[in-house]
């Protein structure tokens, strides 16, 4: 399977990581890609570092937003400018294995899927792998996804010839990525999981995702305000989500 892969990376004060991120993408065994780095009003030296890399490799593109609008709007801006048949998201502080794109594109060809994702491994704040891997199911439907937030943003890949890019644009709400996967699945798509840990999720001790209280509020708001689920249905899915979320962190 071939074709241009557009990689969308929101960048906000990520100067400490961004050169490592760009170099990592440049090491991919699949080379037909463009890296869309969306600077979201950063105040550090990240933009200057990106500009230097851009001069070296024409596949690297800087898209600048003067005012910070958050990850959802930055990703949407990148999606609007994506020229590839395929679309991947990569957060600036996460790590891809060198064969991530190659393996995922091959898997997409095998399954004929429009939406695929992979397993991933937790890393510490220096991205040192911890050995804790989050395995993924072979397929995931909308109903199944409501009780398991197993799709991690930096693992996904979409075929834009099979799925409308408007479905991939993210709402400006907390946990915008989960809301987006649910939206695509609600429209009848099935997500296919490649159970290989091709991504390392850098998780600092005080990261937003590790704040359990905020996570509970975010998921509940998704059920009730975004998906418009009943209280009973929300509670049913919440119990499943809480159990799986706790198990992933053991």
Query: pLDDT tens, 45-83?
Result: 999 999 999 999 999 999 998 889 999 999 999 999 999
pTM: 0.93
Name the least confident of 14-18, 60-64, 189-193. Answer: 14-18
- Taking the C-alpha atoms of residue 232 and residue 221, their distance in angstroms, rounded to an integer, is 14
Helix axes 212-221, 231-248, angle to 10 degrees: 150
- DSSP alpha helix (H) spans, the chain: 18-26, 46-56, 71-81, 100-111, 142-145, 176-186, 212-221, 231-248
The single-letter DSSP state of residue 246 is: H
- Taking the C-alpha atoms of residue 183 and residue 142, their distance in angstroms, rounded to an integer, is 8
pLDDT value at residue 206: 57
pLDDT value at residue 19: 95
The single-letter DSSP state of residue 171 is: P
């Amino acid at each position: 399977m071939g074709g241009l892969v557009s990689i969308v990376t929101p960048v906000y004060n990520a100067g400490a990581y961004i050169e490592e991120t760009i170099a990592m993408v440049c090491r991919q065994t699949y080379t037909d890609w463009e890296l869309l780095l969306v600077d979201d009003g950063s105040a550090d030296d990240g933009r200057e570092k990106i500009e230097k890399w851009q001069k070296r490799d024409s596949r690297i593109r800087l898209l600048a937003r003067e005012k910070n609008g958050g990850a959802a709007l930055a990703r949407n801006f990148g999606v609007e400018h994506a020229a590839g048949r395929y679309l991947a998201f990569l957060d600036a502080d996460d790590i891809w294995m060198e064969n991530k794109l190659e393996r995922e594109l091959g898997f997409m060809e095998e399954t004929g899927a429009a939406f695929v994702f992979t397993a991933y491994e937790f890393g510490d704040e220096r991205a040192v792998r911890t050995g804790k891997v989050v395995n993924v199911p072979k397929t995931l439907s909308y109903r199944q996804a409501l009780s398991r937030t197993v799709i991690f943003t930096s693992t996904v890949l979409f075929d834009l010839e099979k799925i409308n890019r408007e479905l991939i644009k993210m709402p400006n709400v907390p946990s915008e990525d989960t809301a987006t996967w649910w939206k695509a699945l609600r429209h009848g798509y099935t997500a296919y999981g490649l159970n290989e840990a091709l991504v390392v999720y850098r998780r600092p001790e005080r990261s937003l995702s590790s704040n359990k209280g905020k996570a509970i509020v975010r998921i509940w708001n998704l059920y009730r305000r975004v998906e418009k689920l009943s209280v009973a249905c929300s509670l049913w899915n919440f119990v499943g989500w809480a159990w799986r979320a706790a198990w992933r962190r053991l």
